[in-house]
Chains A and B, each alone.
Chain A
Amino acid sequence: MAQIIIKNIRKEFGDFTAVRESSFTIEDGEFFMLLGPSGCGKTTTLRMIAGLELPTSGEIYLDGEEISQLPPSKRDIAFVFQMFALYPHLNVRKNLSYPLVSQGMARADVKSKVEEVAGILGIRDILNRPVGGLSGGDRQRVALGRAIVREPKAFMMDEPLGALDAEFREHMSEELRALHDRMNATTVYVTHDQLEAMQMGDKIVVMNNAVVEQFGTPQQIYDKPASMFVADFIGSPSMNFLRFDGSVAEGAESVDLNGLKMGVPRQMQGASGPLVFGVRPEHVALSDAGDYRGEVLASEYLGTTQIITLDTPNGELKARIDSTQVATVGEKVGLSFEAPKITLFDEANGRALRSHLNHEVLVNG
């Protein structure tokens, strides 16, 4: 298993730039998520690591070796395709044997290795079946088996659960994570599903418009978003953006929001002009003491919590509060925000302003 370092890679298809100078590091044994909306360049990045696309510029290091221009067969990386791409003319056993046969492994060794992997994945009883008639889950297992049988340095997975139905996806994602923990293999996983990324990943890279927006653990990405895009993309409902014109000085611990002083983490960067006050729904509380007021527009009951939609002077806002608390539609309520959890953004470039909350994250991001 191995560490993967991506250094300033860039990929152009003619006039179109799929990936702009991107850099990040995938540590040995990490379950690493490449997250972003469709067309953001995450799959291209994955394919460049695997060697299915060659980067226009930049370097990729696998286990210390520069591999960016090597053909895929020379990289020792396995790839699980979204549509599985099992060889349709071969049965399950042959599909699993294929990567071993290409390395010239002895027939007896191939057989025992295939049996072993089939045992891990629980597909021993379908080894002699053609792949055509398999269920989605079994196809997925065979595809995983074909990847792990070779014991490669790293796994690439391109939305491997995308072709499964919702119910089964949950089950398969647990199986996948368990398999990873057992093998402790460096895994790079592409998804557009933020929940999947948060659930399964050790680390997440969020990409948008061909650039890396942020790179960190799920907690860092959720609590300390580096940009408005990340704050909006991660979390359901996503972060509230209260837009205001004003300024904030370096060292300030509050901002002026419509004449009201709102506490924020100590700022390490000043800014002025159109700013955004970012607060997660769970960091909003309904309290009569709050001077900042909003009108309740709707409430969604979710069991232990409820989501309240409010109309405020700075736009619509959602709050996640205890479902025992009563909120009547049409009522005007006072709101308070958990000051240490606030992120301020400069609306002009969409980036978060550095503060005591997020500065470590932003430095390496």
Chain B
Amino acid sequence: MSSFSVTEPSNRAKWFAGTLVIVYALVTMVPLAWIMLTGFKSPSDAISYPPKVLFEPTLEGYVNLFTTRTRQTPEFLDANPPQTWYEEIVREYDMVIAGPSKFGERFLNSVIIGFGSTFLSIFLGTLSAYAFSRFKIPFADDLLFFILSTRMMPPIAVAIPIFLMYRQLGLSDTHLGMILLYTGVNISLAVWLLKGFIDEIPLEYEEAALIDGYTRFQAFYKVVLPQAATGIASTAIFCLIFAWNEYAFAVLLTSGTAQTAPPFIPTIIGVGGLDWPAVAAGATIFLLPVMIFTILLRKHLLRGITFGAVRK
């Protein structure tokens, strides 16, 4: 090579890195792609062997996901011709739509509980991280360690005490109960991550704002918050992903009004046999909010992960 640079990677290194990234992406993307494809298959295509990559797409899975159906006599079916495209799909199995399924409700529960707990974790986390970062707090180090120690065991290890506590307090199967629980798990992560981000923001900005005639709190939300946006965004993604995907506590503590989507989706299997396309359709829809949220905050996330690595 005629010109050699220490910092610029060689073409071979770039090629190697590129290949590695593509292979890794394939490994992680194939299962997701398979789930999405299965959602558009008919039940027989979904379980055919060898697996079908090319198939005739149908919305059957989605229709089954959102509806409950009953079998009817041929007389009834003849007397009531199908009115809509989704009824036509159901008729192929001599069934009629009896009503909407619980999926919509459960999905909404997931949204309320997931975003609610994320908001609460970020709100409390930012305030306490700011306090830890800027104020002299007695036993600050011990408090921070104590906060971190809540993550030193798997949360499910305390499932039974929480189950009993929630029953006593009437928090079982309530939105509030689940929001509080996920906030409790996420808050330690939020405080620690955000403290790091706020520590990086020079004190001078706030002092300048104080001098410019703002109160401490105004300085916090007009100057510190915009500076911490990157950290807040990446912390929010981590919190949302945990709360959104949480399964064990959701199974244990919710069954009706506050049940989230993760424990609901497997119950589809029990209703009409092994309806894999409906399960896959549910999983696909379930993935979307986190995906959209992450894509929206992607720019911040990338900066967030490398934040503070290089002094600007």
Interface residues of A (CB under 8 A from B): 50-52, 71-73, 77-79, 81, 83, 85-89, 98-99, 102-103, 146, 150
Do residues B210 and A102 form an inter-chain contact, with CB atoms below 8 A?
A: no
Judged by DSSP, the binding face of B is helix
Q: Cβ of B208 and Cβ of A103 under 8 Å apart?
A: no
B contact residues around A83 at 8 Å (CB): 202, 204
> Given the known A-B contacts A85-B204, A87-B205, are A77 and B211 also in contact in the complex, defined by CB atoms under 8 Å?
yes
| Selected contact of A85 from candidates B205, B213, B215, B218, CB within 8 Å | B205
- A88 and B204 alpha carbons, distance in the complex (Å): 12
Checking B210, B218, B226 against A72 with a beta-carbon cut-off of 8 angstroms, the contacting residue is B210
Q: Which of chain A's residues have a CB closer than 8 A to the CB of B210?
A: 51-52, 71-73
B150 CB to closest chain A CB (Å) equals: 31
Neighbour of B211 across the interface among A72, A89, A103, CB < 8 A? A72
CA distance A51 to B214 in the complex (A): 13
Of B202, B212, B215, the residue contacting A146 (CB under 8 A) is B212
7 additional A-B pairs beyond A99-B211, A146-B208, A146-B212, beta carbons within 8 Å, are A73-B213, A73-B215, A79-B207, A85-B205, A85-B208, A99-B212, A150-B212
Bound together, the chains give a CA A19 to CA B213 distance in angstroms of 26
The A-B contact count (CB < 8 A) is 55
The CA-CA distance from A217 to B211 in the complex, in Å, is 29
In order of increasing CB-CB distance, the 9 nearest A-B pairs are: A85-B204, A102-B213, A99-B212, A89-B226, A85-B208, A79-B211, A72-B210, A73-B213, A81-B204
Q: Mark B221-259, 1 if CB is under 8 A from A, else 0.
A: 001001100000000000000000000000000000000
B227 / chain A contacts, CB cutoff of 8 Å: 88-89
Considering the complex, give the chain B residue whose CB is closest to the CB of A82.
B204
Which residue from chain A places its CB closest to the CB of B211 in the assembled complex?
A: A79
Alpha-carbon gap, A50 to B227, bound state (A): 24
Q: Which residues of chain A are within 8 angstroms of B204 by Cβ–Cβ distance?
A: 81, 83, 85
- Chain A hits for B202, CB < 8 A: 83, 85
**Whole-angstrom distance between the Cβ of A346 and the nearest chain B Cβ:** 42
Could you say which residues of chain A place their CB within 8 Å of the CB of B215? 71, 73
Chain A residues closer than 8 Å to B226, beta-carbon distance: 89
Query: Distance (Å) between the CB of A132 and the closest chain B CB?
Result: 9
B207 touches A52 (CB 8 A): yes
In the complex, what distance in Å separates the CA atom of A83 from the CA atom of B205?
10
Q: Check if B208 sits within 8 Å of A79, measured CB to CB.
A: yes
